[in-house]
Structure 1
């Protein structure tokens, strides 16, 4: 029995290999685009979730203290810009944890904030929060009360433990 020469099948095998290579490259590109869009959607979801939790807490406290004018009704925590910028989701998670720690100040009189301010600074200044298996240190820079809103500016840095 004779075996046919391979020269006949060479153009077909070249076309088939180019077609298979195109399928592989196309699937890699599609997978990359899919994961990039999914990551973007996940980041937006995390930001929205954190924002909704903060709004729900604010609504609850505003309903509770709506008749009193001289108490802390709302707490806003803001992060200052860092030189190597951190991930926005990480910053929001740290700010949410810090806001939960500052919840004890809700409902307190604004005239007694001086003693609370000293206690808060001593307890929370340099506190380390763990987010996504990394540790971040918080330094309180400024605390300001205006119309029942306590605004806190913090600096968040990656913790380096010795």
Structure 2
């Protein structure tokens, strides 16, 4: 049995190897672009789901308290922009939204309360929720309430979210 000399097919094997390598690199690039676009879509979907839940609860409350103007009808929780400080990584938006959703659920009993009694309710909320630990994606985060403001039936709360440090 004779084997043909390999040097005749060297050029063909080099071209075939470059073609296969190009297919692999192209597949990797396409897959990374696909996953990046899917990640953006998923994050947008999570944001929209949280907004829908908030709007549903706001609609129910507005229907319930539409004749009274001195009660808290809507609760808006916002996070202050936290930058990476002292070697801490900035919190990703999905985690931040999830912590805000859990915090809004804890603040739900304040809905329907009188705006004129917010001083005692605000102190109670600050005592209960300040430095509370929330578990999101198997990591612990603590919340610090910075500002609470009531205006025209809307309770607005600004919080700062940071990773929890074990002592």
Q: Tell me whether 1:154 sits opposite 2:159 in the alignment.
A: yes
Q: Tell me whether 1:144 sits opposite 2:149 in the alignment.
A: yes
Q: Which residue of the other structure, out of 129, 137, 143, is the alignment partner of 1:132? A: 137
Q: Say what the alpha-carbon RMSD is for the aligned residues.
A: 1.0
The secondary structure found in structure 1 opposite 2:51 is helix
Q: Tell me whether 1:46 sits opposite 2:51 in the alignment.
A: no
Deviation of 1:148 after TM superposition, in Å, equals: 0.7
Partner of 2:118: 113
Q: Tell me whether 1:91 sits opposite 2:88 in the alignment.
A: no
Q: What CA deviation, in whole Å up to 9, does each residue of 1:21-72 have, x standing for no partner?
A: 1111111111111111111111111111111111111111111100011111
Runs of 4 or more off by more than 3 Å in structure 1? none
Q: Distance in 2 between matches of 1:2 and 1:81?
A: 74
Partner of 2:87: none
Q: Distance in 1 between matches of 2:4 and 2:126?
A: 87
Q: Distance in 2 between matches of 1:21 and 1:153?
A: 52
Q: Distance in 2 between matches of 1:112 and 1:7?
A: 91
Q: TM-score, normalised by structure 1?
A: 0.96
Q: Tell me whether 1:4 sits opposite 2:4 in the alignment.
A: yes
Q: Distance in 1 between matches of 2:12 and 2:83?
A: 58
Deviation of 1:2 after TM superposition, in Å, equals: 2.7
Deviation of 1:88 after TM superposition, in Å, equals: 1.2
Q: Distance in 2 between matches of 1:80 and 1:159?
A: 17
Deviation of 1:83 after TM superposition, in Å, equals: 2.2
Q: Tell me whether 1:25 sits opposite 2:25 in the alignment.
A: yes
